[in-house]
């Protein structure tokens, strides 16, 4: 038996994130993504970046900060941003929104008229795939439709494009949609759930930072921006929404999370039901 104890590089188990270093990372994420991190996020920053310090053999979080902010540190900077901006999501989250989509929009959609939806903070893809399931179920080939999904985080976009999820996500998806749009993994993919090719080919994933001017994507009938505004301060919320609203058609709908509001953010839209706004 080998009794040698393997010690992580630079004794990583003992490296502490100092207050000054934490403030540096908070300021950096705010500048890049507009996200405000409270003091309660210090343990999250510590745990998510610890492996990167070990990977590079660095002795402190300050050394890692200097690395990612150096002129040649752009690749590692994106890695750090990815680690610090991963958000929770799941299929059919906040189901009243999907009831609204089904009952008020899709059943009223005119035959032959294209319907375009943007999932503007898609994370690992559960939201846009849920939207696509409804669109295919109700519109099918009777009307053209398109789903664009975007996120700042390159790692979550990679998973979203693959359409591959842990099998325990099955419980989030109603049986009809499981049967028609999902496949059970076999062999090396056993224990995985795969979104069928039919839907994967209908959802386009792109990288986009909400604090930057939006790409030229055309006009949308519906924009989902759910459970992301809670990470922004009031000024950033206003700027982000102001950049997205011009891409929403008149008569289109803007959806936010049920714990969010556009009150004081976008006076030009009208609340029609909880977390659903109409652009006149």
pLDDT-based confidence at residue 191 (cuts at 50, 70, 90): confident
Highest mean pLDDT among 30-39, 104-113, 233-242: 233-242
> Any residues with CB less than 8 A from the CB of 141 and at least 6 apart, and which?
none
| Residue 14 confidence (pLDDT) | 66
pLDDT higher at 106 or 200: 200
| Residue 190 confidence (pLDDT) | 81
Residue-wise pLDDT for 43-100, tens only, equals: 889 988 988 998 898 888 999 999 898 888 888 998 898 888 877 789 999 999 999 9
189 domain-assigned: yes
Average pLDDT over residues 262-280: 93
State the sign of the Cα–Cα–Cα–Cα dihedral 143, 269, 246, 259.
Answer: negative
26 lies in the same domain as 54: yes
Residue-wise pLDDT for 204-214, tens only, equals: 999 999 999 99
3 domain-assigned: no
160 lies in the same domain as 248: yes
196 domain-assigned: yes
Active-site residue, 63 included: no
Active-site residue, 184 included: no
Give one DSSP letter per residue of 83-141, joined into a string: HHS-----TT-SHHHHHHIIIIIITTPPTT--EEEEETT-TTSHHHHHHHHHHHHHTTT
**Three-class DSSP category at 262:** coil
Confidence check: pLDDT of 135 > 60: yes
Residue-wise pLDDT for 118-132, tens only, equals: 999 999 999 999 999
33 domain-assigned: yes
153 lies in the same domain as 244: yes
Average pLDDT over residues 151-176: 92
CA–CA distances in Å: residue 39 to residues 42, 128, 161, 179: 6, 32, 33, 44
Annotated catalytic residue within 48, 102, 169, 202: 48
128 lies in the same domain as 260: yes
**CA 125, 127, 129, 130: dihedral to nearest 10 degrees?**
160
Confidence check: pLDDT of 109 > 80: no
Of 33, 50, 84, the residue at which a domain comes to its end is 84
51 domain-assigned: yes
Its pTM stands at: 0.84
Which tokens go with 265?
A: 């953010």
Q: How many domains does the chain have?
A: 2
Give one DSSP letter per residue of 193-243, joined into a string: EEE-HHHHTTEEEEE--TTSPPPS---EEEEEE-S-GGGS-HHHHHHHHHH
CA–CA distances in Å: residue 113 to residues 80, 116, 162, 247: 42, 10, 29, 18
70 lies in the same domain as 51: yes
CATH of residue 13's domain is: 1.10.155.10
183 domain-assigned: yes
119 domain-assigned: yes
41: domain range?
Answer: 9-84
Let me know: does 199 contact 161? Beta carbons within 8 Å.
no
Annotated catalytic residue within 82, 116, 136, 151: 151
18 domain-assigned: yes
| Residue 10 confidence (pLDDT) | 41
271 lies in the same domain as 135: yes
């Amino acid at each position: 038996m080998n009794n040698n104890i393997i010690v992580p590089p630079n004794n990583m188990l003992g490296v502490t994130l100092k207050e000054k270093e934490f403030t540096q990372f908070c300021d950096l994420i705010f500048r890049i993504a507009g996200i405000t991190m409270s003091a309660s996020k210090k343990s999250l920053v510590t745990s998510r970046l610890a492996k990167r310090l070990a990977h590079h053999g660095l002795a402190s979080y300050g050394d890692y900060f200097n690395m990612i902010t150096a002129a040649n540190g752009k690749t590692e900077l994106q890695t750090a941003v990815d680690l610090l901006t991963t958000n929770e999501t799941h299929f059919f989250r906040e189901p009243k929104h999907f009831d609204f989509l089904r009952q008020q929009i899709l059943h009223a959609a005119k035959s032959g008229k294209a319907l375009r939806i943007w999932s503007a903070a898609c994370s690992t893809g559960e939201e846009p795939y849920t939207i696509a399931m409804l669109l295919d179920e109700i519109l099918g080939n009777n009307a053209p439709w398109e789903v664009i999904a975007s996120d700042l985080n390159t790692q979550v976009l990679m998973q979203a494009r693959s359409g591959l999820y842990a099998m325990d996500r099955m419980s989030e998806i109603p049986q009809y949609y499981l049967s028609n749009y999902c496949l059970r993994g076999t062999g090396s993919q056993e224990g995985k759930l795969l979104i069928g090719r039919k839907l994967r080919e209908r959802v386009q994933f792109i990288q986009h930072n909400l604090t930057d001017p939006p790409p030229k994507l055309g006009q949308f009938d519906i924009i989902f921006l759910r459970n992301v505004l809670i990470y922004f301060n009031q000024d950033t919320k206003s700027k982000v929404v102001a950049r997205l609203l011009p891409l929403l058609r008149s008569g289109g709908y803007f959806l936010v999370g049920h714990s969010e509001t556009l009150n004081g953010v976008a006076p030009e839209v009208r609340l029609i039901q909880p977390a659903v706004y109409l652009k006149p």
